[in-house]
């Protein structure tokens, strides 16, 4: 069976209650899912002996600015056995800006999620250590949101005296 | 000296002092100390801050603090066109600047669906492999310098100067050269530059053997590094390792073989893999990779065909300068591309290359405009620094420096 | 600021002493490399066998500020890092000079963004600005020669009555 059909079959068999959207763009296979099931689905993808998605390459977010679900959290995972890359997407709304963490599945997503929190303000439930990583701790804004200006807000960061 | 009163002593110690009757001075003093290896320290890996919790000289815990070089690349990418971002990609992994250019340009071409002529692909392969050699030379040199062998640093920098000379002839700048363009490369490779590249790879073997003679069987070097910073195969994959660090832990994974890009399926090279997973294995992997890259460059110089170096798509690729000054359509296209940018179709793409530190990837989201809607840079150094607390637990302070050197992070890439 | 700072006037003895002291100072400038990003690599290249910086007297690049005269700030300075740079500048003993290497330290460079300081002269007194992104090692050596000229023209009187900077020292116990 072809790999993409295998993946969609396994996901549909194990999670029948979740609605999944499969799409393909420029030879990349995308799966869109509900944010509540992200942790069990990732666990299945990693531990299944046929799929073996052992390497989590990237966890990031996109800000769409004027849509009902403002953010989309995007996961890129890679299977060394098949040399195949899969893209998972989950929509997060601004009013309920939280999603479950996958750091229990792949340890590398710890810092990636901290970076997403620092830049966008999306909280990750059950994260072992959620705090800012690039900006200083007392910074109050989230830089990569579309309403934050490129030149920054004067007075938000301090300089030493001359 | 005044006598210590009850208020000067910590309540926990006071309680212990009052309980035991035969107490020694070692019990009364707390042995744990927090040491700050600040952002400015002599190991030339940039501005990385480590907070170490020490028991005597043994490290119990470690918290890395990054962000001292955060320049806001991702936000800047949303405000400038795809062409304007090319010089910025140079400054990401600033030891191997050409490889980052190649990675960005490949991602944009995948998004826009642009085909590149074969000669340009071979030139890009050659400069990417030269960048890998330059990066590994600096990594080996500064790693040896951290451990104490100061001569090797100067010898590897001397070799690196020859590579910078090649780049100087090729495109005019020694360092942070933005040589690639969307659709090809900026100008053709001169016969001078190609001849010098051939001369360089021919004499690299001897000079590298000189450096190896100093280090490979050196008892101090081996005892300092053997068994230090061991990471197992499963942990390495779980922590997201890629590149030479992963290959030193036993996983034979190289993006040039797994998802071939450019013309890597036409050249023949081995993937050096070691199974111990310690710092010495990471050093050996890098030395072997320099030799494999030299092999690839020799084959590329033989296989490179004559031909064009930029593809001929008027709406997306900048036309040649001579035509811009003399013909009407090229002038208009040049104006439109420079001011409004190429407009790739709506969609998103992720493209990664095997950079010298690991997997360098760009995730681009396009809404059909001239500038990206979102650009995420997947930098390998950021991921590798995350695993430092796991590697240094139970080691001494001088081992911490050796481990950082063997992981080889570059803060320009880790902090974006 | 030693004995020679107490001598006033422009007599023969004082000017000759000034000249000897300035000559000794300028030919043994110890740089403190504050290497932050890409310019640091060109600074390392200025110290390698091709563009030898040791022939100008700057043989050792001591990484401790307590023993250096000249701070070469090489690389982009962000707001988070600026406090660290200022702290290290305060720890250097007088007399001290600063070279701002590269476009990023002179004026923010190509980074017009929320976290980059647009020029280190907002919090440090700078003597020489070197342009380039990154400047070639020969460019850095040119700046070093100009600093040496500047040091050669100093007089002992310039270092009298200098105000000590305020240090942020946290007194524990």
Q: Tell me: the pLDDT tens digits for A110-153?
A: 899 999 999 998 999 888 888 888 988 888 888 988 889 888 88
Which chains border C (3 or more CB–CB pairs < 8 Å)? A, B
A54 and B365 within 8 Å at the Cβ level: the answer is no
Sign of CA dihedral B59, B65, B68, B74: positive
Q: Residues A12-39: pLDDT tens digits?
A: 888 888 778 888 887 788 888 888 888 8
**Contacting residues of C for A148, CB less than 8 Å apart:** 114
pLDDT of residue B104: 93
Cis peptide before C134 (omega within 30 of 0): yes
- Min distance C8 CA to chain B CA atoms (Å): 40
Q: Please name the member of C83, C114, C117 whose beta carbon is closest to the beta carbon of A143.
A: C114
**Contacting residues of B for C45, CB less than 8 Å apart:** 157, 161, 164
Q: Which stretches in chain B have pLDDT values below 50?
A: 1-4, 28
Q: Compute the count of residue pairs across chains A and C with CB atoms less than 8 Å apart.
A: 40
pTM: 0.88
Which chains border B (3 or more CB–CB pairs < 8 Å)? A, C
Q: Residues A34-65: pLDDT tens digits?
A: 888 888 888 888 888 888 888 888 899 998 88
Query: Would an 8 Å CB–CB cutoff place B347 in contact with chain A?
Result: yes
- Min distance A123 CA to chain B CA atoms (Å): 19
Other CB atoms closer than 10 Å to residue B401's CB: what's the count? 20
- Min distance A136 CA to chain B CA atoms (Å): 8
pLDDT of residue A96: 83
Burial track B72-92 (b if 16+ CB lie within 10 A, e otherwise): bbbbbbbeebbbbbbebbbbb
pLDDT of residue B1: 39
Burial track B113-134 (b if 16+ CB lie within 10 A, e otherwise): ebebbbbbbbbbbbbbbbbbbb
- Min distance A150 CA to chain C CA atoms (Å): 5
C114 and A151 within 8 Å at the Cβ level: the answer is yes
State CA B284 to chain mean position distance. Answer: 17
pLDDT of residue B382: 92
C36 and B87 within 8 Å at the Cβ level: the answer is no
Mean pLDDT of chain A: 86
Contact status, residue B362 vs residue B336, Cβ threshold 8 Å: no
Three-class SS of B51-75: EEEEECCEEEEEEEECCCCCCCHHH
pLDDT of residue B378: 92
Q: Please name the member of A150, A157, A160 whose beta carbon is closest to the beta carbon of C86.
A: A160
Q: Residues C26-47: pLDDT tens digits?
A: 888 889 888 888 888 888 888 8
pLDDT of residue B2: 45
The interface pTM score, or ipTM, of the predicted complex is 0.91
**Contacting residues of C for A160, CB less than 8 Å apart:** 82-83, 86-87, 123
Q: Which stretches in chain C have pLDDT values below 50?
A: 172-173
pLDDT of residue B19: 58
Contact status, residue B286 vs residue B137, Cβ threshold 8 Å: no
- Min distance C76 CA to chain B CA atoms (Å): 7
Contact status, residue A62 vs residue B365, Cβ threshold 8 Å: yes
Query: Would an 8 Å CB–CB cutoff place A149 in contact with chain C?
Result: yes
Please classify residue C49 by burial: count the beta carbons closer than 10 Å to its beta carbon, then call 0-12 exposed, 13-18 middle and 19+ buried. exposed
pLDDT of residue B340: 83
B170: phi then psi, degrees, rounded to nearest 5: -70, -45
Contact status, residue A77 vs residue A59, Cβ threshold 8 Å: no
Confidence band (pLDDT; 50, 70, 90) for A81? confident
Q: Compute the count of residue pairs across chains B and C with CB atoms less than 8 Å apart.
A: 83
Residue appearing with tokens 């799409």: A23
């Amino acid at each position: 069976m072809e790999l993409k059909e295998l993946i969609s079959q396994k996901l549909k068999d194990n999670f029948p209650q979740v609605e999944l959207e499969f799409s393909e763009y420029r030879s990349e296979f995308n799966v869109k899912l509900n944010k509540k099931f992200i942790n069990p689905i990732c666990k299945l993808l990693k531990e299944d002996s046929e799929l073996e998605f052992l390497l989590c390459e990237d966890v990031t977010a996109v800000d769409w600015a004027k849509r009902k679900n403002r953010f989309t959290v995007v996961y890129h995972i890679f299977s060394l056995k098949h040399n195949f890359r899969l893209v998972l997407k989950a929509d997060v709304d601004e009013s309920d800006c939280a999603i479950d963490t996958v750091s229990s599945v792949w340890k590398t997503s710890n810092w990636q999620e901290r970076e997403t929190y620092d830049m966008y303000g999306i909280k990750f439930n059950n994260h072992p250590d959620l705090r800012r990583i690039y900006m200083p701790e007392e910074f109050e804004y989230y830089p990569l949101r579309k309403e934050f200006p490129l030149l920054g807000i004067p007075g938000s960061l301090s300089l030493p005296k001359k | 000296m005044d006598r210590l009163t009850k208020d000067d002593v910590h309540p926990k110690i006071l309680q212990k002092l009052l309980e035991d009757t035969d107490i020694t001075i070692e019990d009364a003093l707390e042995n744990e100390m927090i040491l700050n290896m600040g952002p400015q320290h002599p190991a030339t890996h940039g501005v990385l801050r480590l907070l170490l919790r020490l028991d005597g000289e043994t490290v119990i815990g470690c918290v890395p603090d990054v962000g001292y070089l955060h320049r806001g690349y991702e936000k800047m990418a949303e405000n400038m066109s795809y062409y304007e971002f090319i010089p910025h990609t140079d400054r990401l992994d600033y030891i191997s600047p050409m490889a980052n250019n190649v990675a960005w340009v490949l991602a944009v071409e995948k998004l826009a669906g642009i085909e590149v002529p074969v000669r340009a692909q071979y030139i890009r392969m050659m400069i990417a492999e030269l960048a890998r050699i330059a990066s590994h030379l600096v990594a080996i040199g500064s790693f040896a310098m951290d451990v104490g062998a100061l001569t090797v640093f100067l010898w590897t920098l001397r070799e690196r100067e020859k590579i910078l000379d090649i780049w100087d002839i090729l495109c005019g700048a020694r360092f942070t050269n933005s040589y690639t363009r969307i659709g090809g490369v900026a100008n053709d490779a001169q016969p001078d530059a190609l001849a010098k590249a051939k001369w360089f790879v021919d004499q690299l073997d001897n000079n590298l053997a000189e450096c190896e003679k100093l280090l490979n069987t050196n008892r101090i070097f081996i005892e300092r590094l053997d068994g230090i910073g061991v990471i197992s195969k499963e942990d390495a994959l779980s922590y997201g390792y890629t590149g030479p660090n992963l290959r030193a832990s036993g996983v034979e994974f190289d993006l040039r073989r797994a998802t071939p890009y450019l013309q890597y399926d036409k050249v023949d090279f081995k993937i050096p893999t070691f199974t111990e997973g310690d710092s010495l294995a990471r050093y050996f992997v890098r030395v072997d990779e320099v030799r494999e890259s030299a092999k690839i460059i020799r084959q590329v110089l033989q296989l490179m065909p004559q031909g064009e170096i930029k593809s001929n798509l008027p709406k997306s690729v900048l036309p040649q300068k001579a035509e811009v000054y003399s013909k009407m359509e090229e002038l208009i296209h040049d104006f439109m591309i420079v001011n409004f940018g190429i407009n790739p179709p709506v969609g998103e793409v992720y493209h990664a290359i095997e950079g010298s530190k690991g997997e360098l990837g760009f995730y681009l989201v396009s809404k059909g405009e001239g500038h990206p809607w979102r650009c995420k840079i997947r930098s390998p150094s950021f991921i590798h620094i995350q695993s430092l607390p796991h590697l240094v637990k139970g080691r001494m302070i001088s081992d911490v420096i050796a481990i950082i050197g063997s992981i080889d992070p570059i803060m320009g890439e880790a902090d974006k | 600021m030693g004995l020679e700072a107490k001598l006033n006037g422009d007599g023969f003895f004082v000017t000759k002493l000034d000249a000897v002291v300035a000559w000794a100072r300028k030919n043994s400038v110890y740089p403190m490399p504050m290497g932050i990003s890409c310019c640091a690599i060109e600074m390392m290249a200025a110290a390698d066998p091709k563009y030898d910086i040791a022939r100008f007297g700057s043989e050792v690049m001591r990484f401790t500020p307590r023993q250096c005269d000249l701070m070469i700030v090489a690389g982009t300075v962000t707001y988070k890092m600026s406090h660290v740079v200022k702290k290290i500048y305060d720890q250097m003993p007088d007399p001290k000079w600063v070279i701002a290497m590269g476009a990023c330290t002179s004026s923010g460079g190509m980074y017009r963004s929320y976290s980059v300081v647009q020029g280190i002269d907002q919090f440090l007194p700078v003597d020489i600005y070197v342009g380039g992104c990154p400047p070639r090692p020969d460019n850095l050596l040119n700046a070093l020669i100009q600093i040496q000229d500047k040091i050669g023209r100093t007089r002992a009187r310039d270092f009298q009555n200098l105000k000590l900077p305020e240090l942020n020292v946290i007194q524990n116990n």
